[in-house]
């Protein structure tokens, strides 16, 4: 959320600059994983890349992206939910 506020206040810097920031965060986060197992910077960088992809999207594109992400999340979670309930195959 903080990255979104920063992007809004900075009046949308060029995508190349944002891509470099995301890559920098990913590299630092991955290196930090060697020291601290609970690091989240690399995840933050990946979310940043998703944000860059949707910066210039239309309203329809944003809704389509949100629905796609929700559908993929449901598909990803459904095997673990049915296995936890004991109704799925082992």
Q: What pLDDT is recorded for position 68?
A: 92
pTM of the model: 0.60
Q: Hey, what long-range contacts does 46-54 have (CB within 8 A, 24 or more apart)?
A: 46/22, 47/3, 48/3, 48/18, 48/21, 48/22, 49/19, 49/22, 51/3, 51/4, 51/7, 51/18, 52/15, 52/18, 52/19, 52/22
Q: What is the pLDDT along the chain (90 residues), one digit of tens a residue?
A: 555 666 666 666 677 888 888 899 899 999 998 998 888 888 888 888 888 888 888 999 999 999 998 998 888 777 665 555 555 555
What residues does each domain of the chain span?
1-56, 58-90
The burial class, CB within 10 Å (0-12 / 13-18 / 19+), for 17 is: exposed
Q: What pLDDT is recorded for position 77?
A: 76
């Amino acid at each position: 959320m903080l990255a979104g506020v920063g992007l809004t206040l900075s009046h949308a810097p060029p995508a190349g600059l944002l891509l470099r920031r995301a890559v920098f965060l990913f590299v630092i986060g991955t290196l930090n994983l060697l020291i601290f197992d609970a690091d989240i910077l690399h995840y933050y960088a990946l979310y940043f890349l998703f944000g860059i992809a949707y910066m210039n999207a239309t309203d329809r594109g944003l809704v389509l992206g949100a629905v796609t992400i929700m559908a993929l999340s449901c598909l990803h979670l459904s095997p673990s939910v049915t296995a936890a309930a004991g109704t799925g195959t082992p």
